[in-house]
């Protein structure tokens, strides 16, 4: 074995150990959200901190620089190994580019700002959190500027790269511009069409939480998740956590409406299936991880939005629901479920938005972030600029900051460059679904039997098994023959919302 | 700050970090027993191994030897710091005395033997596991011999010291001898008295698991455990896990009999209260940890056996149970509960034994272990010697090895020197209860109202808050004025079982 290969093997062992610490942290994170009594939180914080710091120490150790140099001294034959090495290099660069003092200052500022934000949102008063957010933005800017020369990306692209490697602002801008043009024309048409449709029959309820949970678990398993490798539990904020061999989905139950938990669990099931489908041979290596936030969101949305809101699947679901909630009668008819769950509406809140207006919420945040990081905007400008941007896109103005600039946790927790992932994921989901249908004509007839396995088989082969071998656009190119393009998404929306 | 104090502070920081890793491991252990789907077990094993190995690396690092030497170079003023330093030294010595190759060989041999034992016990065939146990014993002997010169203890005492620091075989032998003399006289008398008593009314049931769980949780909280710092869940084997600010109790429910879960949860509550009462100022330091297995068992047994099987508490419980299980009627009368839950019986199985015969099971294991480690016995002699020893003590002979030498997991998992802790704990519980009653005359009248708080207050002050400041016998001396002595235990048994 050559010296380069030996150095690579040492790095692979080190990254495996770091990944195992990450697994421990992930499981403890699940426990903190789902099981932990309040009195355990201080100790849990220390556990996270020690695990993160040990992992960080392993990553920035001098031996890593030596091994990276040695491993790169002669090319690795295996393309996956070569990609893995490049991702290790990137992780090392990101970790060593920032002084420890900055990392600690960011952690403190983010934690403090998030706490203030919770109160500010409750009181709908942006001025309460303005100073703390200014500090967060200043530190994030410092972080982006420190990363920029090292990653050879613009400062804002360094932030985006932290969530979705391989995507820059210049990739996103034309995509969003095209979508904007589509939306301006489509939204009034959809609203006019909806106005002509019959009113949806309301669900009556109540729907006992235990029964909803049984339904959600059954649907999640039917979608392909294995009982031996997953759990479904309850938490205030739904998420998909855990590790690839032990994925942990959570949701919450509203006893007056089962739709949120049902579609929420199918969303998380999409995330979970991605994790389950990552290649076992590359587990715990950078190249064996999911390809980024946008890629992950494409997998949750292809299940939730593409499959589970399709006519085919709703047709099947309608009968299934009748066995759980027989008293609901005609409200469970497929056409009524479509009326209930596929309604387009201009609203203030991103997380409540339908799939057509959702990108507008993302686009305005993307633009505000860029103007903030270019120095054009100050933090104090945000509430006014927010309301202006929303009005410009959707023609509505938030009644207060709680329904405007204070609604999302992201900025107040130092997450800038994250929002585009949601819409890139939604677009990628449509693009992948289109390619999947072209590759396998049985996908829709299977969905009409409540069977997602042909779709899942295609995703396993084209997306899950590729892990991080490709960047986001290359992954789409490999699976669909082209990089991210909004036309499959707009075609999907046109079919679903603009045809009678 | 002098050099010695600085070195001590560095050690304290290191041990704190190690303790935090131990906390992570403990929470993951709880999850593995209570929540984890089967498919997560391989990854979980890796998580445990990496956490343990990181912690071990921290403990055996060369800097530790330097800091220990430096910290010991001039005496620390604070007695707790001095004790803490001594316990650090002891942990370092135990960890460095064993070559890594031996530690790994033991881990492999124990895991493999335990697996074979599960099958051997199922088939009641000791010969299946004899070779694997021989390997375990050989490696454990090697371990004991490596520790012996370092700890300046006999090899067998080194094993005992691993579970209950400060206790040697020579401390235990006379205590067990005295108990043997008591038992030989007392057991036939109790049996004769029991034969004259009325037959207990059986509980009818069924007792729904959810209802049992609500009852157990309520009793556990009433005993002093705080809802914000604890959980009660279900697992195959009941245990108390977690960490001092987040204790996790488990049990299992038999719907035909609520007694096992109820008394089992009170037992685990005793363990949990001990952890909750450890001094916050010394958290994550060796001196701030519980004082050992026997000390821990004294706290579970003082709650389960001393308090919750007392006439006073059963009188209160009787009324409480009537609100949960009104159909049971007279079977819930205090005297009937005493007949059901305080019955002495010669049996084959240690974990099913009553408090009077339980020590016999421990004494025979203690003797067999010593003869095994002195070389007098071979592993192949164990089944016959086991049956002989039980017959000698209780006059009964196991029908097969599953009811004899194969019943306990301990030896097959490399745990030798552990068993005495159970009986030392039972005796200490009686001794502490006696001292508590002498110190606070209100303890029994409070128990008669279902109120354990006076007892708990005394335990907090005399035991919990002392953590590992004392060794086992010194802890008893400090709390009761004398080292472990069996007479309080035999006096307790005499009062409970030999008075009409």
Instruction: Give the containing element (helix H, strand E) for A331.
Output: none
CB contact under 8 A, B229 and A37: yes
Number of inter-chain CB pairs under 8 A, A vs B = 87
* Distance in angstroms between the alpha carbons of the first and the last residue of chain B: 65
CB contact under 8 A, B50 and A21: yes
Distance CA B206, CA B257 (A): 7
The per-residue pLDDT string of chain A (500 residues; one tens digit each, 9 = 90 and over) reads 689 999 999 999 999 999 999 999 999 999 999 999 999 999 999 999 999 999 999 999 999 999 999 999 999 999 999 999 999 999 999 999 999 899 999 999 999 999 999 999 999 999 999 999 999 999 999 999 999 999 999 999 999 999 999 899 999 999 999 999 999 999 999 999 999 999 999 999 999 999 999 999 999 999 999 999 999 999 999 999 999 999 999 999 999 999 999 999 999 999 999 999 999 999 999 999 999 999 999 999 999 999 999 999 999 999 999 999 999 999 999 999 999 999 999 999 999 999 999 999 999 999 999 999 999 999 999 999 999 999 999 999 999 999 999 999 999 999 999 999 999 999 999 999 999 999 999 999 999 999 999 999 999 999 999 999 999 999 999 999 999 989 999 999 999 999 96
Average pLDDT over every residue of B447-461: 98
Contacts of A17 in chain B (CB under 8 A): 50
CB contact under 8 A, B40 and A245: yes
* pTM, full prediction: 0.95
Q: Residue A399 corresponds to which tokens in the numbers above?
A: 């009644």
pLDDT for A166 equals 87
Average pLDDT over every residue of B248-253: 98
User: Any idea which architecture B156-500 has in CATH?
Assistant: Orthogonal Bundle (1.10)
CB contact under 8 A, A54 and B54: yes
Distance from the A279 Cα atom to the nearest Cα atom in chain B, whole angstroms: 15
Q: Where are the domains of chain A?
A: 3-155, 156-500
Distance CA A111, CA A113 (A): 6
A246 interfacial to chain B (CB closer than 8 Å): yes
B58 interfacial to chain A (CB closer than 8 Å): no
ipTM of the complex: 0.95
**Closest to A479 (Cα-Cα) out of A491, A489, A465:** A465
Sign of CA dihedral A432, A437, A440, A443: positive
**Cβ neighbour number for residue B449 with a 10 Å cutoff:** 12
Question: Burial, B236: exposed, middle or buried (Cβ in 10 Å; 0-12, 13-18, 19+)?
Answer: exposed
CB contact under 8 A, B27 and A31: yes
CB contact under 8 A, A23 and B40: no
Contacts of A51 in chain B (CB under 8 A): 21, 24
Q: Is A105 left (phi over 0), alpha (psi -120 to 50) or beta?
A: alpha
**Which chain B residue shows the shortest CA-CA distance from A280?**
B43
Distance CA B250, CA A371 (A): 54
Distance CA B389, CA B387 (A): 5
Q: Residue B380 corresponds to which tokens in the numbers above?
A: 């192949």
**Closest to B71 (Cα-Cα) out of B56, B81, B57:** B81
CA distances to A220, B57, B92, B96, B149 from B62, in Å: 52, 10, 11, 10, 21
A272 interfacial to chain B (CB closer than 8 Å): no
Distance from the B324 Cα atom to the nearest Cα atom in chain A, whole angstroms: 23
Distance from the A14 Cα atom to the nearest Cα atom in chain B, whole angstroms: 11
CATH 1.20.58 fits A3-155, yes or no: yes
Q: Is B417 left (phi over 0), alpha (psi -120 to 50) or beta?
A: left
Identify from A27, A233, A242 which residue to disrupt to test chain B contact, counting B C-beta atoms within 10 A and taking the largest count.
A27
Render pLDDT for A212-263 as a digit per residue (tens, 0 to 9): 999 999 999 999 999 999 999 999 999 999 999 999 999 999 999 999 999 9
**Domains A3-155 and A156-500 fall in the same CATH topology:** no
Q: Say if strands B246-251 and B230-234 run parallel, antiparallel, or are unpaired.
A: parallel
């Amino acid at each position: 074995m050559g010296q380069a290969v030996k150095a690579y093997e040492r790095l692979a062992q080190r990254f495996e150990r770091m990944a195992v610490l990450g697994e421990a942290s992930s499981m403890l994170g699940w426990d903190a959200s789902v099981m932990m009594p309040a009195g355990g939180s201080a100790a849990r914080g220390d556990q996270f901190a020690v695990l993160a710091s040990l992992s960080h120490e392993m990553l920035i150790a001098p031996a890593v620089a030596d091994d990276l140099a040695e491993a790169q001294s002669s090319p690795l034959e295996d393309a996956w190994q070569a990609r893995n090495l490049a991702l290790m290099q990137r992780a090392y660069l990101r970790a060593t580019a920032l002084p420890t003092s900055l990392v600690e200052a960011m952690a403190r500022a983010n934690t403090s700002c998030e706490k203030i934000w919770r109160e500010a949102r409750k009181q709908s008063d942006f001025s309460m959190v303005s100073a703390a957010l200014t500090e967060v933005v200043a530190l994030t800017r410092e972080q982006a500027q420190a990363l920029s020369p090292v990653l050879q990306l613009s400062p804002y692209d360094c932030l985006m790269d932290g969530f979705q490697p391989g995507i820059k602002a210049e990739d996103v801008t034309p995509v969003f511009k095209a979508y904007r043009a589509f939306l301006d024309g489509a939204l009034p048409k959809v609203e006019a069409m909806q106005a002509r449709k019959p009113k949806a029959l309301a669900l009556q309820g109540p729907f006992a939480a235990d029964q909803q949970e049984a339904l959600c678990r059954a649907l999640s398993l039917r979608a392909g998740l294995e009982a031996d490798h997953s759990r479904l539990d309850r938490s205030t904020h739904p998420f998909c956590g855990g590790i690839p061999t032990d994925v942990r989905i959570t949701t919450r139950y509203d006893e007056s409406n089962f739709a949120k938990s049902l579609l929420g669990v199918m969303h998380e099931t999409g995330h979970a299936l991605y994790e389950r489908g990552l290649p076992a041979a590359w587990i715990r290596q950078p190249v064996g991880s999911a390809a980024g936030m946008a890629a992950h969101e494409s997998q949750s949305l292809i299940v939730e939005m593409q499959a589970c809101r399709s006519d085919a699947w709703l047709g099947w679901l309608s009968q299934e629901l009748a066995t759980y909630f027989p008293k609901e009668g005609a409200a469970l008819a497929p056409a009524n479920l479509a009326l209930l769950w596929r309604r387009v509406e201009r609203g203030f809140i991103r997380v409540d938005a339908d799939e057509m207006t959702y990108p507008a919420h993302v686009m305005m945040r993307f633009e505000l972030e860029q103007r903030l990081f270019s120095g054009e905007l100050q933090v104090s400008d945000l509430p006014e600029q927010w309301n202006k941007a929303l009005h410009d896109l959707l023609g509505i103005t938030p009644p207060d900051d709680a329904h405007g600039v204070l609604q999302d946790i992201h900025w107040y927790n130092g997450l800038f460059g994250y929002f585009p992932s949601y819409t890139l994921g939604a677009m990628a989901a449509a693009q992948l679904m289109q390619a999947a249908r072209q590759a396998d004509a049985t996908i829709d007839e299977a969905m009409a039997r409540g069977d997602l396995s042909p779709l899942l088989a295609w995703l396993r082969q084209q997306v899950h098994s590729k892990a991080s071998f490709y960047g986001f656009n290359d992954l789409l190119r490999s699976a669909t023959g082209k990089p991210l393009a909004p036309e499959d998404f707009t075609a999907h929306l046109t079919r679903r919302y603009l045809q009678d």
